Amino acid sequence: MAKNHKGFGVAPGTEGGSSTASPTTEGLSPAQRSRREFLEGTGNTVVATAAISALGVSTLNAAEQADASAAAKTSIQLSVNGTSHSLEVEDRWTLVELLRDHLHLTGTKIGCDRSECGACTVLMDGKPVYSCSQLAVWADEHSIQTVEGLARNGELSPVQQAFVDNNGPQCGFCTPGQLMTATALLNANSNPDPGQVREAMVGNLCRCSNYNAIVEAVVAAGEQGGVA
């Protein structure tokens, strides 16, 4: 196969064709004519497809925008760290979305966002839940406690202080979730042994693998009087 001046392969039968050849099919053999007609048709199709694609994208964006403004909303009432809130939430919001993005309680972290790591743990009516996997509307008429609600009058809670004293946090990202699960445990069992701590906190992962220090901190908090 010959090469044209740009180095592209030139189809047999078209070698030597002039770049100034007439764009009409006049003077072409039937085979050449049908090829030209095919290519011209293909070009039109490509242009048409591109136009449809562009139209499709802009239609999708418009649809997404309409969807956002038309999202179903529900009025809820909940208590967060002892403060009552009456809010209108979108039905698709997660609890962590409500806490972080709308109530600006950013102490609760999002790690995996799919119920695997426990970084987002908060207490709902005293029980640990993954707030990434709870809808905000499910918190209607419930009481939520986040890590911001642990300290009282500027004093760390006993379990927070025990984490500090026992080097519980490493990078610190999982610490809010660890503290909330530990708080729930100590509220139910004020003096847990290491095995009970490990069992209770199995759903809170620490990517620094600081598990021994975390268990020691929770045990120490219990020995010093729990969280009450």
Which residues make up the interface to ligand FES (CB under 6 A)? Answer: 110-113, 115-120, 130, 132
Token reading at 155: 């004093």
For the chain, helix (H) and strand (E) counts, in that order, are 6, 5
Nearer to ligand FES, 113 or 165 (CB): 113
CB of 164 to ligand FES, least distance (A): 24
Bridge partners of 135, per DSSP, are 94
Contact 142, 84 (CB under 8 A): no
Nearer to ligand FES, 166 or 183 (CB): 183
CA dihedral 159, 160, 161, 167 (to 10 degrees): 100
| Number of residue whose CB is nearest ligand FES | 132
| Length of the chain, in residues | 228
Nearer to ligand FES, 132 or 217 (CB): 132
CB of 108 to ligand FES, least distance (A): 9
Q: Which residue in 138, 151, 132, 146 sits closest to 78, CA to CA?
A: 138
CB of 138 to ligand FES, least distance (A): 15
Nearer to ligand FES, 174 or 227 (CB): 174
CB of 167 to ligand FES, least distance (A): 23
